[in-house]
A and B are shown apart, each in its own frame.
Chain A
């Protein structure tokens, strides 16, 4: 028996040498003095919590789970996981706030809103409505709500795309996520256009639910686990039953499916994890290995500034999206400094976090304004909302830009 191996703790907790580098790179600690920072909230606090659970500090709720502490850590400690796992284990178990329930249940709210999208969109834009949401629910009135699409992606797919997809010689499965389904079906259509151009048909999973990232961050752990189980079942059917890889267009969904499921929800996914990846990475591999080719049309020059979302930084995959953008003729790419935009999923929607969110994002917004770019590109939907609300530039998914310039 290798005692040294067996005495290694979860999340490499004992590897922390207290160097404090994580706290240097924590976007929240820099903006909100109520948050003690990842070293204190993570490994330091964990020592106390292991001794007595009532050492749990409620300030852990300020962690937005961006994982930038983990990217910075020289000792490979999973600091963000320690903090989130502590919230799950020791924090409040039943989150009863209506606001958190609404923000976390992107699936439910999305399916209620999309049939009435024009009315919903017009209503939540109204100042009095926003003031009521602020006062009653604690959703900040300055926050602009994302627009809902009139009709979901899946409904469109079944009606207009499903049959045609069968004809392609190769197939891939698509985890579209709530954003594509309820807010931006166009991105799903863009993906189909690109994959079809490469000879790939796109299939939906048997049953897809929200990946659960917002449920985890809002304390709805049981529901998160239930939905994760459903998703993993569908992914297994796809990967193992049909031999279809699963691709996604959201960096956060991808990260949640691959890493948060085993680390936070304790749902083993090692058998399928390598088959879940971002579409940009999947495309990069196809194009680099010569298994596919894309033809582009002549189009006006476009200056694109790429923003690296936090979970993309954690996965280390921004390179693929950036390289795809660089392949497009006429597109000039600048890469913005990798820093948090402040939104943190549902974090920045909450009244108590609004100021902090905008202050975290301020340096990024300045860099975007000074970049001279026509458009910002990013793989995360909530970053997109934050950037469009807080800067003068439009923000789109790299694949939307790519699809719009296909011949």
Chain B
């Protein structure tokens, strides 16, 4: 099978890269081992929320400039301040063209609310989710936090505890319906996707609206877990119209409905642009000749290889097995690329879960064009993008989505320039 570019990994980075290259006229394939971590999405995309030293960032663009000066091995520093700003301007359009409607600015973080009620700085948020321009500046004084009876992945009490710190009056509401009883027979399966399917039916959504209308009395607004609209686009509007009050969604624990929607939207977009998406397959080996990757072999395709001019390693970090931790070292399994890590396992982590652990910044060693380094030298046509890169702490710095998308656009630009089909990238 011959392609212009083969991308290994179908998460946010892989798909962003694939979409950009397909837009540039390339014939691309994405090989993805199962669905990606986009399914755990918060409904927001972070660019930069904190510097590595813990200083909060209000203006991510300025924050990236400072980061680039002080932490030169950070992916943003490698990509470059000006490039980062330019790509950050392209991302909202790329998402919107895929049907993911987002709001936000790269010069100005806003705040999303986590399923536990905490405020987190973020860059872009999918429309409909609760955000605040500054911490604590909620668009309501009195709010009713509604849960679905028996739903395990949403915590109204914790959320209320946080909101009350800012003087918000919180009430609780609980919704139940006979159609939900069917899922409740397996209480461990009271999960977002199963519940959202119920609310895709008009009658159930109507019933929810009626209860929300009752609960809204005396409140400025309602908060609802993101359990609506898995296969329909109009669910929130439908509820807002019938209830007549503002309704804000909050993300739930995984699987996340906005994540499922985003994954499917990006996949659709990639395919609509002529991309081939190979789901449920795994790259087992690669052949390189004279410093170039020639072809990769996968579990499903056996003796028929994927051949391409360029390859992109977007296999992610530990969760997706883009990096594998053995007892004494970190391995990148597809190409056996050089890895940035530390020798002693005891130095990989601390005993506190929320600390900035060293292992989180481990990743594939690259040159300044993000080309993968193996045995000390870059492979000429293999680029690493996304969570598998070294030198950043996605959770502590609040930059996971940004690094994924910006590194993907940077690699795509390099690839498009190096191919016979150069395209303007502005």
Contact = CB atoms under 8 A, between A and B. Distances in A.
B363 to A, nearest CB: 19
Contacts of B189: 23, 36-37, 39-40
Interface in B277-298: 278-282, 298
Interface of A: 19-21, 23-25, 29-30, 33-34, 36-37, 39-40, 44, 70-76, 274, 281, 284-285, 288, 313-317, 319, 335, 338
A75 B304 contact: no
Given A23-B189, A23-B194, A74-B35, A281 B304 contact: yes
Given A33-B182, A36-B185, 12 more contacts: A19-B39, A20-B254, A29-B194, A33-B183, A36-B186, A37-B186, A72-B280, A74-B33, A74-B36, A285-B304, A316-B298, A317-B301
- Classify the secondary structure of A's interface with B: helix
A25 B35 contact: yes
A71 B280 contact: yes
B357 interface: no
B255 A71 contact: no
Nearest to B196: A24
Nearest to B320: A74
Interface string B269-283: 001000010111110
A72 B197 contact: no
Contacts of A29: 194
A30 B255 contact: no
A111 to B, nearest CB: 34
A24 B256 CA distance: 10
Contacts, number: 85
B303 interface: yes
B278 A19 contact: no
Given A19-B254, A71-B34, A74-B35, A24 B193 contact: yes
Contact of A20 (B191, B278, B280, B298): B191
Interface in B308-330: 319-320
B276 A319 contact: yes
Residue among B36, B194, B260, B301 facing the most chain A CB atoms (10 A cut-off): B194
A29 B195 CA distance: 11
Nearest to A338: B279
A25 B279 CA distance: 13
B155 interface: no
Interface in B24-40: 33-37, 39-40
B301 A316 contact: yes
A313 B278 CA distance: 9
B300 to A, nearest CB: 3
A71 B279 contact: yes
Residue among A70, A75, A316, A319 facing the most chain B CB atoms (10 A cut-off): A316
B375 interface: no
A37 B319 contact: no
A298 B143 CA distance: 69
Given A21-B39, A37-B189, A314-B280, A72 B34 contact: yes
A49 B33 CA distance: 28
B37 A74 contact: yes
A317 B278 CA distance: 9
Given A19-B39, A29-B194, A37-B189, A74 B319 contact: yes
B206 to A, nearest CB: 19
A75 B188 contact: no
9 contacts: A20-B191, A21-B255, A24-B260, A25-B35, A37-B194, A71-B280, A74-B34, A74-B35, A74-B36
Residue among A33, A37, A72, A73 facing the most chain B CB atoms (10 A cut-off): A33
A36 B35 CA distance: 20
Nearest to A72: B35
A73 B301 contact: no
A25 B34 CA distance: 11
A316 B280 contact: yes
A313 B280 CA distance: 8
A34 B260 CA distance: 23
A75 B282 CA distance: 11
B1 A319 contact: yes
B413 to A, nearest CB: 28
A272 to B, nearest CB: 13
B196 to A, nearest CB: 9
B34 A335 contact: no
A29 B197 CA distance: 10
Nearest to A59: B186
Contacts of B40: 19
Contacts of A20: 191, 193, 254-255
